Structure formats: structure tokens, C-alpha cells
Amino acid sequence: MSERHWHVLGAGAMGCLLASQLQRAGCRVTLLLRDPLPVAQVRVSVESGDTSSQYAIEATSLARVGVIDYLLVTTKAPQLLDALEQARSALAPAARVIVAANGMGYLEEARAIVGSGELYCCSTTEGAFRLGPLHIRHAGRGKTLLGRVGGGGPADWYPDWLGSELSCEWLNPVEPALWHKLAINCAINPLTATHGCRNGELASNLELRRRMGALCDEIAAVSAAAGYADTARRVHEDALQVARATAENRSSMLQDLEAQRPTEIDYITGYLLREAKRLAVPAPENSRIYRQLKALEKARAGD
């Protein structure tokens, strides 16, 4: 049993999955919920295949929380900095903060908010989607990569994650993995969101597979120019493999779009396009899908 007390901020699909995994690994876990509820327990339900597991997890709100030593932030990228800002006054001076949002382009500001604490990243290809409040389906097994922003060996808290059922790996440096995940998300998320399809269709439907290939050609070119040769080489194969491994999953961008929530497009394809511009690499297919997604997002918000 770990003596560490984890607070998890963001009770969406990934927050529920990671909170339940850490609790299962023997850690004390508290979910930080938006409503000003007193310290209490909530029930988190995780469906996986034909089985349903229930977890009684402590819950409180940011307004009532005490000192936070270990914070896992699982909000989406557009809410990440606001969420961290709200948690700032509760963070212990040496707090460890792990951010698990998709995309890139928020780490510098996050580091400023964390101050004297330490900032880490979690990048996962676990597939999970929300069935209802605190009720999720764990739809696909993936890999969870962890590392310290700016570099460093395994953290004191890493054994907690190794004790979970997640397949974890510590990376030093972690930045190439963040880029690689960004590349996979650029290939899968906007395409599934604009077509309203599950991830697996990008592998099984020939036209979608061709379109994913066209996106990957450009993602590979931007990756090569940005110095991520490994991603440039592997992005086609890896995007296809993740689409197959999470075939039943609805991508987080599709889920956000359907729920009329802001999507992470500006931190995913938007970030890729900013890099493409900086490096003078043409990316017309990615620009097209970016505009398509933005138009859909706007139309849904007006529904």
C-alpha cells in the first residue's frame, strides 16, 4: 500500500480510469469535483469487456481540499491551465503535478503555475469513453508513457503507477513521446470527429484509411523538420496500429464534439500547423481538416 495520497482533477473518462487504477494499486485517491460537496465517497463504474467494476473513491472539491502533494490533472487541454490555476493555492511547495492532456503547447505556462513543484507528463493510448457521470467504458488497452518535463529519472511516485494494471514506461526525455502522441492524435482524432466514426473504421474503411495516410504524409514531413525522425518514420504504421487497438473507441475529439464541449483541436492539429508554418512545411490536408473541425465545432455550439 502506497503512503502517497493522489488528488485527481478532472473526472472525465481518463480521470475515472486513472483514479480507479491508482486506487486499485493501493494508493489513497481523492477525486476533485466541481460541485462544492463535503468530503464524501463517490462510486466510479468501469465497464471492460463483459465485466463491470465498481470503485468507492473519496471525493471533494477544490474549495474544500487541504494540501495537495500529488496531483494528477486529467482535464482536456483547453481547461488545463484554468484548472491548474484553481488548484495552485492548495499545492504543497514540493508538489508533484502530472498533466495528462492530449496535445502540446501548454507546458511552459503549466510550469509557471506549478512554481517550486515538479511538473510531469502522462501520455496514454488507453482507450476510454464516458457512459455517464463517473461511469466509463475502458475500451482499449494501450501504453502509458510518463516523464518529467525538462528531463529526469523515474520519480518517487512511479512505483504507484507500476503497481497498477496500466502498461507504463518512464521516459527521459519525455518530449519526443509527447510529439509522437500528438502525431497519432493528429492522424486519428479530427478524422473520426468529422466522420462521426469509431477509431477502428480508419483502418477498415478504405477511403478513411487513404485520408489518414494523406494526413500522416504531412505529419511525417513536419516531424522530420522538427527533429522527430522516429515519429516521421513510424507515424503511418503507429496510427494504423492505434486505430486497430482502440477500434471500439470513440476518439476524445468525437466525444467532445458530440457533447458540444470545446475540442482539443487547437492543441493537436492547431499545434502541428503552427509548427508546420514555423518550419515552412506545407500541410494542406491537415489545414483542411482543421478548418472542417472548427466549422463543425462552431455549428454544434450554435445548435
Residue from 252, 263, 269, 286 in contact with ligand KPL (CB under 6 A): 252
Q: Which of 175, 179, 177, 202 is nearest to 271 (CA)?
A: 179
Minimum Å gap between C-beta 65 and ligand KPL is: 27
Residue from 79, 199, 223, 286 in contact with ligand KPL (CB under 6 A): 199
Nearer to ligand KPL, 252 or 269 (CB): 252
Nearer to ligand KPL, 95 or 216 (CB): 216
Distance CA 144, CA 127 (A): 11
Q: Is 102 in the site for ligand KPL (CB under 6 A)?
A: yes
Q: Is 103 in the site for ligand KPL (CB under 6 A)?
A: no
Among this protein's residues, is 181 annotated catalytic? yes
Interaction mask 108-147, ligand KPL, x per CB under 6 A: -----------------x-x--------------------
Cβ contact 269:292 at 8 Å: no
Cβ contact 140:246 at 8 Å: yes
- Under 8 Å CB-to-CB from 233, ≥6 apart: which residues? 220
Rg over CA atoms, the chain: 19
DSSP 38: P
Residue from 164, 185, 231, 286 in contact with ligand KPL (CB under 6 A): 185
Identify the burial level of 294 via C-beta atoms within 10 angstroms of its C-beta, where 0-12 means exposed, 13-18 middle and 19 or more buried.
Answer: middle
Identify the burial level of 299 via C-beta atoms within 10 angstroms of its C-beta, where 0-12 means exposed, 13-18 middle and 19 or more buried.
Answer: exposed
- Under 8 Å CB-to-CB from 271, ≥6 apart: which residues? 103, 104, 105, 182
Number of residues that bind ligand KPL (CB under 6 A): 12
Distance CA 28, CA 295 (A): 43
Q: Is 188 in the site for ligand KPL (CB under 6 A)?
A: yes
Q: Is 249 in the site for ligand KPL (CB under 6 A)?
A: yes
Nearer to ligand KPL, 56 or 259 (CB): 259
Enclosing H/E stretch for 78:
helix 77-87
Minimum Å gap between C-beta 174 and ligand KPL is: 16
Catalytic residue among 181, 277, 294, 298: 181
Q: Is 74 in the site for ligand KPL (CB under 6 A)?
A: no
Minimum Å gap between C-beta 126 and ligand KPL is: 8
Nearer to ligand KPL, 257 or 281 (CB): 257
Residue numbers of the site for ligand KPL (CB under 6 A)?
102, 125, 127, 185, 188-189, 199, 242, 246, 249, 251-252
Positions marked catalytic: 181
